[in-house]
């Protein structure tokens, strides 16, 4: 490998590292804000709802979150399966064309 390639690669990796650090900092800031709001909302809900209503609400929210995660996982699996099917079809088509020659 040439020294120039290594230097360019190191610069690209350093830039990527800096970008990821910045994004991580932004994510921590967002999480801190979300946590603060969650505490305030939880306090307001405890004042407004009975303990059983609060338990039901939390259970419903947890269920919705799980369902959304499951939905995303299924969508991701369908996308992967479609790409795999397309690749298999391309391979079949390419191999059938190669045998026709």
pLDDT tens digit sequence for 9-48: 899 999 999 999 999 999 999 999 999 999 999 999 999 9
Q: What does residue 50 show for φ and ψ, rounded to 5 degrees?
A: -75, 160
Counting every residue written for the chain, the total comes to 101
pLDDT attached to residue 8: 84
Q: Write down the domain spans for the chain.
A: 1-48, 51-101
């Amino acid at each position: 490998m040439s020294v120039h390639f290594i230097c360019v690669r190191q610069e690209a990796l350093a830039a990527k590292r800096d970008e990821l650090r910045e994004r991580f900092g932004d994510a921590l800031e967002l999480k801190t804000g979300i946590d603060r709001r969650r505490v305030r909302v939880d306090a307001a809900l405890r004042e407004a709802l009975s303990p059983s209503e609060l338990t039901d609400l939390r259970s419903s929210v947890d269920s919705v979150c799980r369902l959304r995660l499951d939905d995303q996982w299924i969508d991701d699996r369908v996308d992967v399966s479609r790409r795999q099917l397309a690749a298999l079809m391309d391979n079949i088509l390419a191999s059938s064309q190669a045998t026709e020659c």
